[in-house]
């Protein structure tokens, strides 16, 4: 699943994966920043609560974005694949300046929305400058390859991560969320061992990666982002070991970045936050 083509007169919008459990009541720094890059008080935010089984999830985010100053916030009740073909909902995405995908079960997102008109509309929207972000499951679905589920723990093990296609807004990163809180380094390393092309982005809770059109990630939030760079990987045993066995990986680079830190996906250079 490749990102939609950016036309010559346009600039790709921000891609904003959030690690889950973002602050919604105190400073709400991540949601405020999301709103800012989506047009500020002129923002028209579309919310996609498909991953959640809770009936009020969409309405809650509608209220949050309106309280933060959005001009409009509309939740789309996309519960079936048939819903994802309704022109009424596609028109909302066409007019949006920001699309926000809530948390829940990421397999609900992939099975209900994967390959639909809504998924294509979201990719096209991002290519013409619309900010697209999501929290928890909504973060995982943004990239080309999504970690659907896997084992906890620090050590990469064969079979510790199961991948499915995501929405394909970017093929440069692979995302894992609730990262430190649920001890997910091992499964992210396993996912990268399968195909060491993408950069691993492990998002702590209440922490977001704001990926801009220059392909630079900037950290916002109260936790950290773990960047796993396998571009200079010299060895992986993933093809030889049996299910459940530890995987050997050499020459992996790892960065831990807090708010204000950046990572350039082109140069693979990390910058610590400025004091």
Q: pLDDT of 68-98, one tens digit each?
A: 999 999 999 999 999 999 999 999 999 999 9
Residue 184 pLDDT > 90, yes or no? yes
Question: 83: which DSSP letter?
Answer: G
Bridge-based pairing state of the strands 207-211 and 216-221: antiparallel
Residues in the chain: 275
- 145, 205, 236, 255: which is the annotated catalytic residue? 205
pLDDT greater than 80 at residue 31 = yes
Letter string b/e over residues 61-72, b meaning 16 or more CB atoms within 10 A of that residue's CB: bbebbeebebeb
Residue 22 has pLDDT above 90, yes or no: yes
Q: How far apart are the first and last CA of the chain?
A: 39
pLDDT at 33 over 70: yes
Please compute the mean of the pLDDT values over residues 48-53 and round it to a whole number: 97
Which residues, at least 6 apart from 138, have a Cβ–Cβ distance to it below 8 Å?
17, 18, 48, 51, 100, 101, 102, 103, 104, 109
Q: Catalytic site residue 205?
A: yes
Q: What are phi and psi of 151, to 5 degrees?
A: -90, 150
CB 99 within 8 A of CB 48: yes
Among candidate residues 62, 143, 145, 178, the one labeled active-site is 178
Please choose, from the candidates 51, 43, 53, 52, the residue with its C-alpha nearest in 3D space to the C-alpha of residue 74: 43
| pLDDT for residue 24 | 96
Q: Is the pLDDT of residue 153 over 90?
A: yes
Residue 120, exposed/middle/buried by CB under 10 A (0-12, 13-18, 19+)? middle
Virtual CA dihedral for 183, 169, 192, 146, nearest 10 degrees?
A: 60
Residue 83 confidence (pLDDT): 98
Class of domain 15-260: alpha beta
Q: What was the pLDDT predicted at 104?
A: 97
275 has a pLDDT exceeding 80: no
Active-site residue (options: 52, 110, 136, 236): 136
| Domain positions in the chain | 15-260
What band does 60 get if pLDDT is binned at 50, 70 and 90?
A: very high
Average pLDDT over residues 239-262: 98
pLDDT exceeds 70 at position 256: yes
Query: To the nearest whole number, what is the mean pLDDT of the chain?
Result: 97
Strands (E), 62-137: 72-75, 98-101, 131-135
Q: What is the pLDDT of residue 1?
A: 66
In this predicted structure, the answer to whether residue 2 has a pLDDT above a threshold of 80 is no
Other Cβ atoms closer than 10 A to 87: 9
Q: Is 19 left (phi over 0), alpha (psi -120 to 50) or beta?
A: alpha
The answer for residues whose C-beta is within 8 angstroms of residue 54's C-beta and 6 or more apart is 104
Q: Sorting pLDDT into bands at 50, 70 and 90, what band is 4? A: confident
Q: Is 121 exposed, middle or buried (0-12, 13-18, 19+ CB in 10 A)?
A: buried
pLDDT-above-70 percentage for the chain: 100
So what's the pLDDT on residue 7? 86
pTM for this prediction: 0.98
- Enter the tokens of residue 56: 């009020």
């Amino acid at each position: 699943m490749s990102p939609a083509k950016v036309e010559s007169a346009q600039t790709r919008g921000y891609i904003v994966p959030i690690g889950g459990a973002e602050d919604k009541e105190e400073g709400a720094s991540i949601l405020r920043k999301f709103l800012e890059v989506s047009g500020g008080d002129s923002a028209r935010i579309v919310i996609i609560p498909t991953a959640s089984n809770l009936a009020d999830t969409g309405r809650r985010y509608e209220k949050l974005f309106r309280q933060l100053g959005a001009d409009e916030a509309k939740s789309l009740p996309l519960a079936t694949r048939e819903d994802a073909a309704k022109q009424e909902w596609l028109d909302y995405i066409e007019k949006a300046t920001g699309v926000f995908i809530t948390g829940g079960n990421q397999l609900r997102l992939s099975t209900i929305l994967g390959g639909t008109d809504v998924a294509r509309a979201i990719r096209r929207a991002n290519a013409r400058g619309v900010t697209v972000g999501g929290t928890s499951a909504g973060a995982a679905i943004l990239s080309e390859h999504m970690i659907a589920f896997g084992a906890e723990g620090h050590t990469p093990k064969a079979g510790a991560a199961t991948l499915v296609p995501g929405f394909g807004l970017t093929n440069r990163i692979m995302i894992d969320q609730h990262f430190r809180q649920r001890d997910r380094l091992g499964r992210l390393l396993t996912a990268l061992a399968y195909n060491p092309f993408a950069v691993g982005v492990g998002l702590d809770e209440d922490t977001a990666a704001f990926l801009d059109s220059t392909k630079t990630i900037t950290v916002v939030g109260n936790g950290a982002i773990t960047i796993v760079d396998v571009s200079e990987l010299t060895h992986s045993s993933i093809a030889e070991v049996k299910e459940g066995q530890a995987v050997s990986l050499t020459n992996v680079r790892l960065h831990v970045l807090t708010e204000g830190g950046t990572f350039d996906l082109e140069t693979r250079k990390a910058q610590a936050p400025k004091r």
